[in-house]
Amino acid sequence: MAEPVTGFAGNARGEGAASTVREARRLLAQRFLRAGSASPGLDARLLVEGSLGAEHLDPTMVLSAEALARLDDFSARRVAGEPVWRILGEREFWGLPFRLSRATLEPRPDSETIVETALAQFAGRRDEKLELLDLGTGTGCLLIALLSELQRARGLGIDLSDEACRTAAGNAALNGVDDRATFRQGSWTEGLTGRFDLIVSNPPYIPSAEIATLSVEVREHDPLLALDGGADGLGPYRFFASTLPPLLTPGGVIVFEIGAGQGPDVVALMRAGGFEFRGSRNDLGGHERALIFTLA
């Protein structure tokens, strides 16, 4: 997205006054369309709602000068390539709100496949006192979503970024599971003891050389630490294959998110590490997204 940006209010005066919610949405959608947005109408609606702190707005509602000023800032940031949810600072995942920070990925709908897959593995064990581990926790979305469903479970989230851990802890409190969730700064499994019934991870899996080809929304706004999976994108899985066996309980389950086409390679790595492949699940787009493993 690239378009010279003038003030939204000033631009609106040139195209028609953005005095109402309806007009603000229309003018923003026009701007975002010209700037190359794939969803200009949705972007406009979300940012207008965000500027007013409310949803399901009356289209005839008149915007205040303060709301127009916020829209001016939101519009400029969106045209410059900043994702809508980054601008708003929060995104929904599994029906729950998650606040974002510079150190976290945005929770994305495709990753809900990991939660759905994990829960299916424990369909008959939901009332047990399960121990969960989330490696590379980011916003904490995977762990927190699982704890919201597994009411007696406890979980530990690990992230290399201390800022991400603080964000995740805040999200656990926001969603009422902070009494059962702990977040710790660390490098994957280093220093971990004990065993876990369920281990999940959405690790960085993009090959290093491909980072520069990603959209501006991703490469300039998602943290590199959460994207770069090494030369072949398989670095984290290689580490997991050698370090996770002693951390998984007998009968325990591992569920990983993977990138496009990585399934066979990740399965081979995990089998070499002593794990049994128990199948995969596709995301809403039909792409293989979640891989399931147990101890062989």
Q: For residue 2, what are the CA distances in angstroms to 34, 37, 76, 78, 213? A: 9, 10, 10, 10, 17
Flag the least confident range among 45-59, 163-177, 226-240.
45-59
Mean pLDDT of the chain: 93
pTM for this entry:
0.91
Question: Domain spanning 8-88: which CATH class is it, in words?
Answer: mainly alpha
Tell me the mean pLDDT in the region 229-254: 97
- Can 8-88 and 101-295 be said to share one CATH topology? no
Categorize the per-residue pLDDT at 17 as very low, low, confident or very high, splitting at 50, 70 and 90: low
Per CATH, is 101-295 categorized as 3.40.50.620? no
Domain boundaries defined on the chain = 8-88, 101-295
- The DSSP symbol for 38 reads S
Ordered alpha helix ranges (H), 36-181 = 40-52, 65-79, 84-88, 112-121, 141-149, 162-174
Flag the least confident range among 70-74, 130-134, 146-150.
70-74
Per-residue pLDDT, 116 = 98
